[in-house]
């Protein structure tokens, strides 16, 4: 019996994909990233990190996590904006480059209270800064490196739980060096601009990849170019809003009329006939009383 059940389950087709009509295919991560092993965070496997602070893209991407690092002074209000639209774990930058000093630690503590999944320290971060942040907060610290040197080892020993490799065209080489020395440390690496670079980085040992999606301005420009060419409809691959299928044996107009009738009987101001909105007649202006109608004063 069990063998028969198992054989039947093996023959079952894959379930149909579920798409939200409000989402867009334009912010989907490259399919090659799914080949990575991923890193485990609170029991969730993360393979792709969308490297962006564009809230519209963040809300529409299917990335496993968000890497919100920006080239400005760190501010909690920016973190809050990203967290309010993200549907996946968010890693936010708290400094190390533009932001330095005690503000880095303050931002890290505040970000943890806001609910981020982790904080990111940029490449120029001092080892002591990594240590202070790692000892103060409980969410993991991701340390960015741009080369393979002794700073990688020192930052790992200081408490960095994740290494983010952003070495440009040398990313795959640096990833290989990190994994050779620390095979157990989770490594996130830049994916590059092609499927070939993604496959090369994964082969070098990267557990997850960061991917830079197109900005809203770029997507809007592409959309306007299509409109100028007269292409006003979506492609077949893009999800779009569809009308609900009819219910057999049910007339929606009757349902609507019944709703208004029932609510009117319960005292609600709804009727199946719109109320009369014609202007009310004004009261006729009365003439002032004449002298004959004015009562004479009472004589004593």
N-term to C-term CA, the chain: 119
> What does the alpha-carbon distance between residue 74 and residue 76 come to, in Å, rounded to a whole number?
7
Q: Which CATH superfamily is domain 27-216 in?
A: Aldolase class I (3.20.20.70)
pLDDT at 256: 52
- Which residue carries 């994994």 as its tokens? 179
257: its two tokens: 């009329």
- Separation in Å, CA 257 to CA 67, 250, 251, 275: 51, 13, 10, 15
Query: What pLDDT was estimated at residue 237?
Result: 47
Q: Enter the pTM of the model.
A: 0.72
Largest CA distance in the chain: 122
How many residues can be counted in the chain? 300
Q: What is the mean pLDDT of each run of 10 residues along the chain (300 residues)?
A: 59 77 75 95 96 94 96 93 96 90 94 97 95 96 96 96 96 96 96 91 97 91 90 54 51 55 54 54 61 55
pLDDT (0 to 100) of residue 241: 42
What are the boundaries of each domain within the chain? 27-216
What pLDDT was estimated at residue 167? 95
Q: Cβ(141)–Cβ(159) under 8 Å?
A: yes
Residues in CB range of 83: below 8 A, 6 or more apart: 90, 114, 115, 116
Task: Check residue 99 and give its pLDDT.
Answer: 86
Q: What are all long-range contacts of 236-239, with beta carbons under 8 Å and residues at least 24 apart?
A: 237/25, 238/24, 238/25, 238/26, 239/19, 239/20, 239/21, 239/23, 239/24, 239/25
């Amino acid at each position: 019996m069990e063998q028969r059940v198992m054989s039947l389950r093996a023959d079952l087709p894959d379930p149909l994909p579920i798409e939200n009509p409000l989402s867009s295919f334009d912010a989907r991560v490259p399919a090659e990233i799914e080949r990575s092993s991923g890193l485990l965070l609170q029991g969730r496997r993360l393979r792709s990190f969308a490297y962006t602070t564009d809230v519209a893209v963040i809300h529409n991407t299917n990335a496993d996590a968000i890497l919100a690092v920006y080239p400005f002074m760190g501010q909690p209000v920016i973190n809050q904006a990203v967290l309010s639209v993200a549907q996946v774990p968010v890693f936010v930058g708290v400094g190390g480059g533009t932001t330095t000093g005690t503000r880095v630690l303050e931002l890290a503590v505040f970000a943890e209270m806001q609910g981020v999944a982790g904080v990111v320290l940029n490449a120029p971060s001092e080892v002591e800064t990594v240590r202070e942040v790692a000892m103060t907060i409980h969410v993991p610290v991701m340390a960015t490196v741009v080369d393979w040197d002794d700073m990688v080892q020192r930052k790992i020993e200081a408490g960095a739980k994740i290494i983010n490799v952003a070495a440009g065209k040398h990313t795959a080489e640096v990833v290989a060096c990190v994994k050779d020395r620390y095979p157990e440390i989770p490594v996130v690496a830049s994916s590059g601009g092609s499927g070939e670079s993604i496959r090369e980085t994964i082969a070098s040992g990267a557990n997850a990849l960061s991917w830079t999606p197109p900005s809203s301005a770029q997507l809007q420009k592409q959309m306007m170019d299509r409109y100028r060419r007269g292409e006003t409809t979506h492609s077949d691959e893009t999800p779009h809003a569809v009308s609900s299928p009819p219910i057999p044996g049910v007339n929606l107009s009757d349902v609507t009329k019944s709703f208004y009738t029932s609510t009117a009987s319960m005292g609600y101001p709804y009727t199946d006939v719109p109320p009369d909105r014609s202007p009310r007649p004004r009261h006729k202006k009365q003439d002032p009383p004449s002298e004959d109608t004015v009562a004479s004063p009472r004589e004593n």
